[in-house]
Structure 1
């Protein structure tokens, strides 16, 4: 679940209006869908797994890598470590924490390395020592996800962040949300993990399933949500957060998910990408392009070669200067 920083709405629209250039794309039908079968496993190759084992610019702990040494190996325990470091600003009141304007800049810290720098400066104890809620770093679901993803990659576990929508925050609503997938070799599948939901949140949301192995349908990759809206299976106005919803919102998350699959887990309110227009109208060409992105990214299992090739066709997607 993401948040409502002052520039969130504008940045989401900017993302949804990202411009693209044409290129060689997978064979698709009239709605941009791949002609191969849905859910066909294609992501277990050595090259694919090696790619997601290596850190990206946002998940790399860099000079703070030693802080990840000695952390628990079990996924539930790692999630508890993350939950002891980060607090979602929309849930802060439930923990007795006030979100002041002075603390909002914490949510602007994107890379894991800088998050670790911030945390270590406030409390030098090992990361597996849970901080008091008021001492945790303010963030969103994206921040829980990149932290867990960085920890898993540090241990040599293939992991990636996904952007999409969750069904367990509100009834009859698809909430803007980010989760982590990691590769479980014994079962040859990507397991979905919600690193944000601790015992308090699970209790308040009446969650009755394992959030470290999300059941099918509890989280929808943005490409799947887009196809549901396009096919009339769901109302686009039910996808969003904090009063922001609609097809433009879903389209923004489709772009974010493609970037995340390419290890660029941008913040929901980043505005450094170029926008094509000043309004939210999506042209026929824009619809067709988003259909094509969704054809590659709609499943839990995504073909890396296709995601990489599609990413290379996006125009003006560059790392912001502070990451170069």
Structure 2
């Protein structure tokens, strides 16, 4: 299996399961598909801009990891076909990771190679690299991976003054976690400019970087899920840990041409590999979470 074939099939988190046929009505063109997703979901950090207030229990939707669980909740909120634009208050609450993973799931269902990438975007705040996820898909016509930001609707583009096409995000506007790690480690970027809210620094870069490695192995976790090298204090990192991170960063910072090597590193090293039980840092505090999606996968 080559890299194109690998990303053309769903993984544990992107498998739609019994809800798969819901995707059949969705449009084929990538722009129309992103607009359909925007009509199903609403970004948690943009609620006020949209003029939406939601009760506290609704925010539990942010803890839904799998696409199957998201589709179930979308149906509970509004049972109509996925092509129907929901009222703002009937859209599933999500974040950049959720928009990206949903797009990747739909594309993989159709056999289009796609992968969610965790890293940092330059278009949210000036002189800052914001914690962010996007989706890459293999553009067969152009014979290259194309980056899509499926959360950027017309309102967000206007507020952020985004001038590029969100369906083909320029390479200098989104840095995969490995590239951010490489730049910071080489002294070419300030790690304190990477993060979100009051969280920033090389430890934050490391977290997104290792989450990106997991996502490249089709295990797309939540932005606050931690394990292995994500959940180690900076002062406790060994020289061997840093060597592994530096090597993996070189392999994952771009198109990931040496995909088999990345797979082997991930599968063979528990510092990178997602276990069946992780630690998740939610508003309620740190908690151990068992991942049922991984129960029947090998190597976990």
TM-score in same-fold range (> 0.5) = yes
CA distance in 1 between counterparts of 2:210 and 2:203 reads: 11
SS at match of 1:318: coil
CA distance in 2 between counterparts of 1:154 and 1:181 reads: 15
Give 1:124 deviation, angstroms.
1.0
CA distance in 2 between counterparts of 1:309 and 1:221 reads: 20
Task: Kindly indicate whether the alpha-carbon contact (under 8 Å) linking 2:206 and 2:230 is maintained by their aligned counterparts in 1.
Answer: no
Q: Which has the higher strand share?
A: 2
Query: Of the candidates 280, 283, 287, which is equivalent to residue 234 of structure 2?
Result: 280
Give 1:301 deviation, angstroms.
4.1
Give 1:275 deviation, angstroms.
6.7
Query: Of the candidates 217, 222, 229, which is equivalent to residue 267 of structure 1?
Result: 222
CA distance in 2 between counterparts of 1:275 and 1:183 reads: 29
Query: Of the candidates 140, 144, 166, which is equivalent to residue 185 of structure 1?
Result: 140
In structure 2, the partner of 1:51 is 6
Matched, 1:322 2:292: yes
TM-score by length of 1: 0.82
Give 1:277 deviation, angstroms.
7.2
In structure 2, the partner of 1:235 is 190
In structure 1, the partner of 2:279 is none
In structure 2, the partner of 1:6 is none
CA distance in 1 between counterparts of 2:71 and 2:245 reads: 35
Aligned residues: 278
CA distance in 2 between counterparts of 1:276 and 1:67 reads: 35
In structure 1, the partner of 2:102 is 147
In structure 2, the partner of 1:77 is 32
Cα distance change of structure 1 residues 82 and 277 upon mapping to structure 2, 3 Å threshold: closer
Give 1:317 deviation, angstroms.
2.4
Cα distance change of structure 1 residues 170 and 132 upon mapping to structure 2, 3 Å threshold: same
In structure 1, the partner of 2:260 is 305
Q: Which moved more, 1:87-96 or 1:301-310?
A: 301-310
Give 1:283 deviation, angstroms.
3.2
CA distance in 2 between counterparts of 1:235 and 1:162 reads: 21
CA distance in 1 between counterparts of 2:85 and 2:77 reads: 13
In structure 1, the partner of 2:76 is 121
In structure 2, the partner of 1:14 is none
The unaligned stretches of length 5 or more in structure 1 are 1-45
CA distance in 2 between counterparts of 1:161 and 1:213 reads: 14
Cα distance change of structure 1 residues 188 and 201 upon mapping to structure 2, 3 Å threshold: same
CA displacement, residues 232-289 of structure 1 (integer Å, 9 cap, x when unaligned): 1110000000110000000111110100000000111224x35797633233332212
CA distance in 1 between counterparts of 2:77 and 2:257 reads: 39
Matched, 1:64 2:64: no
Task: Kindly indicate whether the alpha-carbon contact (under 8 Å) linking 1:89 and 1:99 is maintained by their aligned counterparts in 2.
Answer: no
CA distance in 1 between counterparts of 2:231 and 2:191 reads: 21
Matched, 1:216 2:216: no
In structure 2, the partner of 1:194 is 149
Matched, 1:296 2:244: no
Task: Kindly indicate whether the alpha-carbon contact (under 8 Å) linking 1:190 and 1:301 is maintained by their aligned counterparts in 2.
Answer: no
CA distance in 2 between counterparts of 1:128 and 1:67 reads: 9
